[in-house]
Structure 1
Amino acid sequence: MQLSVPRRAPAPAVKALRIGVADRALAPAPPSPEPSAAARPEVEALLARRARAVLHRDAAELAATAAPAHRAAQAELERRTARVPLAAWSYRVTGLDGGGDRLTADVRLDHRITGYDRHPATATRRLTLERSGGRWLLAADRPVGGALLWDLGTVRAVTGRHCLVLGLGTAAEAELLARAADRAVPAVSAVWGTGWAGRLLLYAPGSLDQLARLLDAGAADYQGIAAVTTASTGPSDTAPADRILVNPEAYRGLSDLGRQVVTTHEAVHVATRAATRPWTPLWLSEGAADWTAYLHTGRTAQQIAPELAADVTAGRLPRALPADAAFGTTATGLAQAYEQAWFACTLIARRHGPRALTTLYRTIAATGSADADRTTTVDRALRKVLGTGLAAFTADWRSQLAAELTTPTPSPRPAG
């Protein structure tokens, strides 16, 4: 604002003016906003514009949000996601730092897949922004933590009756996975009911290293793991979107039956997520998934649990149901932990019926709490549903392991 002072102003007026100027000079200046804070509204507008461009496949608009050196990457993003049926894509700025003509923004990227995600899958990204031509433009976009599938390559899509496979491998591999998923969904619903989405979203990276990048983990941690479900525990109306991630190197090495068992097992985790709580023991959640997956396969206990059978035959009978730590991807005796869990759930279903197993699962979810002792929660649920406590059930489980999994020593052939 410009002050206009008459050239021949009366002395008091001039004096008053001079006092006012002096007062303003001595008063502390109001704090200036940090450059990054001042830029926030413009950055948020840029990211909203970018999100609309991604969602609507507007190549020109997407390129216009990026600095010239980064525009080729925008065309690559559009190409890589061309087959991904996006229902939503949005950014939320969680941190902004820098000044001058360069900023770093930490953002949460939420996206949903059409027909599969009721709630968004979330990723953390770190963006570099440059000031050019009087506006902020994207100069770099990097994952923080787990990568997104299209960070790693061009995504192909295969749609089944009950599933969508998004993959980086061959079309044949994606179609094979879709067929297994289509068989898994009705098999799981037959046991666990239809009160879940009844469809599966599967990610098939092209290598173990790519799987590790999606999970933000070391490749060695998932060397022998054929698939993993990223569903969080809790009700589906609050937990993030489900994804079944396949380790292509381990999955390729399985038989047709093995691939079906793995896919059905992971489908159980998706179907039971709403009834899975932090206090649900892993021997129950993993055992129930394996029991469902092996149901009607015609496989014997010796065939399903060969490592456990070898241990029992050698006199190494487990003392207790496997602890959660036994299911770590690099835990010693991981195969035995899964086989012990499968046998426990098989025993429940055989003695009390399949409905008792699913009821037990849901009862533990409904009657426990984060503050309650988990052993007490499981014991009470067992008594309520099966009429037996945890100690008695464990003793019965050990007895049946010894009876059913001990391999008889072959009788020597008579001489002569």
Structure 2
Amino acid sequence: MPTEPMTTPDVGADRPRRWEYPALVALGVAVVLVLGLTIFLTNRSDSDENAASEQDAERTAQVQAFLDAWAAAQMSDDPSGLAKFVDSAAAPGVLEAEVRRATAAGALDFSDWGYEIPSGGLTPAPRTGAPDGDVEVWNAQVLLRYALDGVDALPTRKAVSMTLAKRGDQWSVLADGSIVGLDGARTAGESWNGPWDFGPLAVAENAAGNALVIGHPGQQAFVDALAADVDSAIENTTQLWGPWWSERAVLMVAGSAEEFTALVGSHHDGASIAAVSVADATADGSSDVSGQRVVFSPAAASRLTDITRRTVLRHELMHIAARSKTRDGSPMWVLEGFAEYAGNRGSSRAWGEIAPTLAAAVRSGDTPTEFPDDTQFGGVPVVSSLAYESAWSINAYIADRFGEAKLTDLFRALASGKMTAEDLDSRIRAVLGVGTEELRVGWVDWTNSHLG
């Protein structure tokens, strides 16, 4: 049978041919060059980034040192010393405004006053309109850190926008976003303003020395009246809440709608409210609260009587005391109703005077039968008034039936943020021994009997 002829393998078949050697050598050299170039570029990039980072850190340290000296000059006995810190190319009026502000702030005693430049707070500013010469211009987003002596347990920090100039190794202020003009107009930007930005201050302390009232000279009578009210208001708050708060207070009286908005935020202009309490953001679970203030609107003095002034102060102080236990999203009938109860606690006014809108509804046979919804607070005046007064009556009913200690316990249980109806019922039952429905029915009956 025919067979295929056997062949002998070519033992040299896998050997590179002579012309392939130069190509292999060239390829190896190319690989080495590419790897070397990659390593070189990577190292150079890392080196450049490190150098830039070191330069940024050095620049930030220089600005921090400048801000430290700037803050010390602001707090000195001679504010005219600020002149050496303001750039020669600053807009007209900047130096005068800085001196004016420092002079006004001199009416207060600060346990802390300074500026902090956070990492990344410096960015190159556009050269448009920049001063001539060998100068660098930088935008600085800084934090004003301050604490009022005797009343602030912790310093508060407020954002301020500044523009700084660097000439050689010297830094100076080119623009300050927190400047307020003589006409009360604020500089456009995101800078916070304190009462000292709006002119000379009128200051009063309470008898115990643990509260401070800050306003302006034209408001001295109202400032003094608030100072006289604070001792009893603090005592009232502690009686209801307990000693678990600072038992200190800072009250500010705005001299204009613009100042009120600056102190409390853009969502308030003071046109429809007498006062509001504010505080810095609080981390969940933290008992440390800074920046707590009760701010009265410019119209408060003319709108409030002696009795309603004390009521508003006690209301807002309860918000201050309970701030560390209060979380956004909690039922408004709990948050505002408890503060309303605190404000009217021990009042000589009849219940119909405390809740006139609610009393009128009861007399007309239109007694509310449901707890007020969150959306009813702060809206249409009549609806809002009925919501606040209904919230007060719920809390007054709980205090009347279960006692003030249980009322405070219930606030602590319900002020922890958003919750389901089932969770609300469970917490009410755990504190009071009754569920939401029984509480609601009891409140409606109480309201009819007390306000009818």
Name the TM-score, length of structure 2 as normaliser. 0.75
Secondary structure, aligned partner of 1:196: coil
**Whole-angstrom CA distance in 1 between matches of 2:156 and 2:277:** 13
Judge conservation of contact 2:274–2:303 (CA < 8 Å) in 1: no
**Whole-angstrom CA distance in 2 between matches of 1:130 and 1:119:** 32
- Residue in structure 1 matched with residue 148 of structure 2 by the alignment: 113
- Residue in structure 2 matched with residue 292 of structure 1 by the alignment: 342
**Whole-angstrom CA distance in 2 between matches of 1:85 and 1:237:** 25
Aligned-partner residue type, residue 212 of structure 2: L
Match of 1:310 among 349, 360, 372: 360
**Whole-angstrom CA distance in 2 between matches of 1:113 and 1:374:** 41
Match of 2:86 among 61, 66, 82: 66
Counterparts in 2 of 1:13-412, with a 5 A limit?
31=48, 33=52, 39-57=59-77, 59=79, 62-68=82-88, 69=90, 70-94=94-118, 95-98=121-124, 101-132=136-167, 134-143=169-178, 144=190, 146-161=192-207, 162-168=210-216, 169-217=218-266, 221-231=269-279, 237-278=287-328, 280-328=330-378, 333-364=383-414, 373-406=419-452
**Runs (5+) with no aligned partner, structure 2:** 1-36, 126-134, 179-189
Judge conservation of contact 1:235–1:273 (CA < 8 Å) in 2: no
**Whole-angstrom CA distance in 2 between matches of 1:374 and 1:277:** 15
Is the alpha carbon distance of 1:374 and 1:199 closer, same or farther for their aligned partners in structure 2, counting shifts above 3 Å?
A: farther
- Residue in structure 2 matched with residue 18 of structure 1 by the alignment: none
Aligned-partner residue type, residue 296 of structure 2: V
Is the alpha carbon distance of 1:188 and 1:81 closer, same or farther for their aligned partners in structure 2, counting shifts above 3 Å?
A: same
Name which of structure 1's ranges 28-37 and 238-247 shifts more when overlaid on structure 2. 28-37
Is the alpha carbon distance of 1:401 and 1:166 closer, same or farther for their aligned partners in structure 2, counting shifts above 3 Å?
A: same
Give the drift of 1:264. Answer: 1.1
Q: How many residues are treated as equivalent by the alignment?
A: 377
Give the drift of 1:172. Answer: 1.4
Deviations 1:31-82 (Å, cap 9, x if unpaired)?
Answer: 4749977633322221122223334546365433222444333321221101
**Runs (5+) with no aligned partner, structure 1:** 1-22, 407-416
Judge conservation of contact 2:330–2:419 (CA < 8 Å) in 1: no
Judge conservation of contact 1:152–1:210 (CA < 8 Å) in 2: yes
**Whole-angstrom CA distance in 1 between matches of 2:262 and 2:380:** 17
Secondary structure, aligned partner of 1:248: coil
Judge conservation of contact 2:75–2:106 (CA < 8 Å) in 1: no
Secondary structure, aligned partner of 1:170: helix
**Whole-angstrom CA distance in 1 between matches of 2:379 and 2:72:** 39
Judge conservation of contact 1:146–1:216 (CA < 8 Å) in 2: no
Give the drift of 1:332. Answer: 5.8
Give the drift of 1:281. Answer: 2.1
Deviations 1:246-291 (Å, cap 9, x if unpaired)?
Answer: 1130342221111111111111112222332335422122112221
Judge conservation of contact 2:270–2:298 (CA < 8 Å) in 1: no
Judge conservation of contact 2:337–2:388 (CA < 8 Å) in 1: yes
Judge conservation of contact 1:146–1:215 (CA < 8 Å) in 2: no
**Whole-angstrom CA distance in 2 between matches of 1:56 and 1:377:** 56
Give the drift of 1:295. Answer: 2.0
Secondary structure, aligned partner of 2:117: strand
Secondary structure, aligned partner of 2:245: coil
Q: Which has the larger radius of gyration?
A: 2
Aligned-partner residue type, residue 124 of structure 2: G
- Residue in structure 1 matched with residue 24 of structure 2 by the alignment: none
Name which of structure 1's ranges 231-240 and 41-50 shifts more when overlaid on structure 2. 231-240
Judge conservation of contact 1:127–1:141 (CA < 8 Å) in 2: yes
Deviations 1:291-310 (Å, cap 9, x if unpaired)?
Answer: 12212223222111111222
